[in-house]
Chains A and B, each alone.
Chain A
Amino acid sequence: MTDAKYHTPEDQTLQGRVFRPSSTTELREAIEQAFDYRGDVALELTSGETVVGYVFNRDANGAVPALELFPKDLPGVRKIAYADVVSIAFTGEDTASGKSWEAWVAKKESQRRAESEQVAAAARARGHL
């Protein structure tokens, strides 16, 4: 295993991390992380192939445990057996990082400070402050 823990704290992202499971249990946990991740992942397969895409489904309890993925640069859906996965790299941007909210809040706070400063400056010009 590259990382000791699979479950990333909520304030951290998996982006850039690589999991190389050494057991079936670790493999299942890593695939759960990939399923939960809101970015693309790169799967290294036993065949030597690397598949990049978004994991949108997984069936860990089926007759043949498998995940389903939208390949990044190809149409359609790719189904991959758990047993075929060697490693999982979280290569894509974590789109759930919350940047849009942070950016908007920062913008609004900046605007409010600017407005407040304008009002204060006008008051000083009138001799009220």
Chain B
Amino acid sequence: MAVPLSQMFTVTKYVLTQKLKGVKRYPLVLMLEPLFRCNLACAGCGKIQYPDHVLDKRLTPEQCWAAAEECGAPIVSIPGGEPLIHPEMPEIVRGLIARKKYVYLCTNAILLERKLDEYTPSKYLTFSVHMDGLKEEHDRAVCRDGVYETAVRAIKAALKRGFRVTTNTTLFDDANPERVRAFFDEMMKLGVEGMMISPGYSYQKAPDQQHFLKRHRTRELFSKILGNRKPGWRFNQSPLFLEFLMGKREYQCTPWGNPTYNIFGWQRPCYLLQDGYARTFRELMEETDWERYGAGRNEKCADCMVHCGYEASAVEDTFSSWSGLSRTVKATLLPNAR
């Protein structure tokens, strides 16, 4: 795992504390969406299809900090929309860092290079750059030429200034395993701390409805991509989650593991589905019928294998028993073992 020791320690301490307290459902990562406005319109994204007056709404820094405190998760991921469009994003990030949250600031990197002056390198701050493959694949995924080159320049600039940088990759059924592996090589060559990968979710509102992955195809694809893994590849994800993607192990979804807060409130049940909103985090956790969601329980979840639901399942597996911990150690040290 490509994560600083301090972050690993913080997360481990947090999870073990929840276990010792007997907390059945606890959040690992707060998905904080301060805005939906974006400067791209990706084919597989269902996050930005709103009227203009909704796209113009923003969470305030105070709302963001309150959500982080209410939730209590040690990690805060800030997806979008495009977070760097938010004029108060530097302040939001500073406030989260002051609260000792590990922040993953997601971005398509179009604005990143020119915005770097507004941020200070910190072990708590990671720029998570949306990169869906090599140039041809990425520009196609984001529906705009030149974005790949812009992102690469921004990654180099951020790394040069001492920022933590990861990539975040969503794959669809047209992904070419060899090209994806070559992409991993390229990102490691760039010097990013680690990579995050996930199959795309079948957003009903996404423009492209033809290329979402079915479960069996996800397993086939990720087995080809992650099989015979190169030693130089570093993933910022649980190794058990990667094995889940490859079909080596089964998990049920843990939707409460990555609760989402945005301009509408606390989103039920997860980052991907929009089945209503709760006014408070407590209401979300206590008054959501969690048993209605997950593969085999809800048709909208049937093909989902996305990290925001299953990464938490993998972490839960790791910390639930000695055998889980053992599996994680083995998967970390021997990723290519059968």
Contacts and interface: CB of A to CB of B under 8 A. Distances in A.
A104 B144 contact: yes
Contact of A95 (B51, B144, B208): B51
B32 to A, nearest CB: 17
B43 A70 contact: no
Contacts of A70: 53-54, 57
Interface stretch (A22-30, A51-59, A81-89, A115-123): A51-59
Contacts of A104: 41, 43, 143-144
B143 A39 contact: no
Interface residues of B, number: 22
Given A104-B43, A104-B144, A54 B207 contact: no
Contacts of A58: 276
A3 interface: no
A107 B214 CA distance: 28
Contacts of B46: 96
Contacts of A98: 206-209
A49 interface: no
A66 to B, nearest CB: 12
A93 B51 contact: yes
A58 B264 CA distance: 11
B277 interface: yes
Interface in B159-183: none
A101 B143 contact: yes
Interface string B30-51: 0000000000010100100111
5 contacts: A54-B51, A54-B54, A56-B54, A56-B277, A96-B49
| The 10 A-B residue pairs with the shortest CB-CB distance in the complex, in nearest-first order | A101-B207, A98-B207, A100-B41, A96-B205, A104-B143, A96-B49, A95-B49, A38-B49, A57-B277, A56-B264
